[in-house]
Amino acid sequence: MNDTLQKQYAVIFDMDGTLYDTEKIYREAWLNAGVSLELYQTFIGTAHTYIVETLAAHGMDPDEVIGRKVAYVNETLEKGIPLKPGALECLKWLREQGWPCAIATSSSMATADRYLDATDMRQYFTKVVSGNRLEHGKPEPDIFFMAAEELKEVPENCIVIEDSFNGVRAGHAAGMYTVMVPDLVAPDEEILGLADAVLPSLSELPALLASL
């Protein structure tokens, strides 16, 4: 991060697996739909277009597979949409500091709206952007540039909070201070080299941000 940065930042959160404990639900949904664990792991944090192209390239019918996955997710989320540990406390702290927050998700806007409305979390976010139809999803930085533009902030003044490898790659490529809070997969040597910080949960995020 630029040493001349002012002591106020814009914070951009990934959604699934970062704010919401939903990535494990998506994993089970893809496996239930006939996708291998190895292939599913390449989907984490990527755009819808990538998933469609990848399924087709593996000889699968994207409409059929995605339809089965969506049905499984919808049925499961009817029981409730779980938050990640520390998420609410972290967002309350950021609001107290007056730091603008955005969500930058590879999921659809309809999914983001569903999560935010069901958990009464919309109040904590200045902007919500969906990159599921972007030509270049994560690990490309496009969605984070979009979020920064929506927040009217330069990338150097933005902090990215991510759980996935592709999300960390995208945050780093955007030139933003990137914090990884691992969810299903622990960071490897590459990701440890790209992330500016790795935290065990969102509960530790306020202390880190206060120290910047």
Choose the final residue of a domain: 77, 93, 120. Answer: 77
- Whether residues 110 and 32 share a domain: the answer is no
Q: Which domain holds residue 30?
A: 23-77
User: Would you state the pLDDT for residue 7?
Assistant: 63
- Whether residues 92 and 122 share a domain: the answer is yes
Q: The whole model's pTM is what?
A: 0.88
- Whether residues 107 and 169 share a domain: the answer is yes
- Whether residues 101 and 190 share a domain: the answer is yes
- Whether residues 114 and 155 share a domain: the answer is yes
Site of tokens 């065990």: 200
Give the pLDDT band of residue 166 (cuts 50, 70, 90). very high
Residues in the chain: 212
Structure tokens, 5: 């940065």
Mean pLDDT of all residues in 121-135: 91
- Whether residues 100 and 180 share a domain: the answer is yes
User: Would you state the pLDDT for residue 48?
Assistant: 84
- Whether residues 53 and 157 share a domain: the answer is no
In a domain, 165, yes or no: yes
The beta strands (E) that lie in 92-183 are given as: 101-105, 127-130, 158-162, 177-180
- Whether residues 66 and 98 share a domain: the answer is no
Spatial separation of the C-alpha atoms in residues 71 and 6, rounded to whole Å: 46
Residue-wise pLDDT for 42-97, tens only, equals 898 787 888 999 999 999 999 999 999 999 999 999 999 999 999 999 999 999 99
Q: 126: domain CATH number?
A: 3.40.50.1000
Angle at 70 between CA 67 and CA 73, to 5 degrees: 150
- The burial class, CB within 10 Å (0-12 / 13-18 / 19+), for 24 is middle
State the average pLDDT for the chain.
93
Mean pLDDT of all residues in 162-186: 96
Domain total in the chain: 2
In 3D space, the residue among 10, 62, 26, 32 whose CA is nearest the CA of residue 212 turns out to be: 10
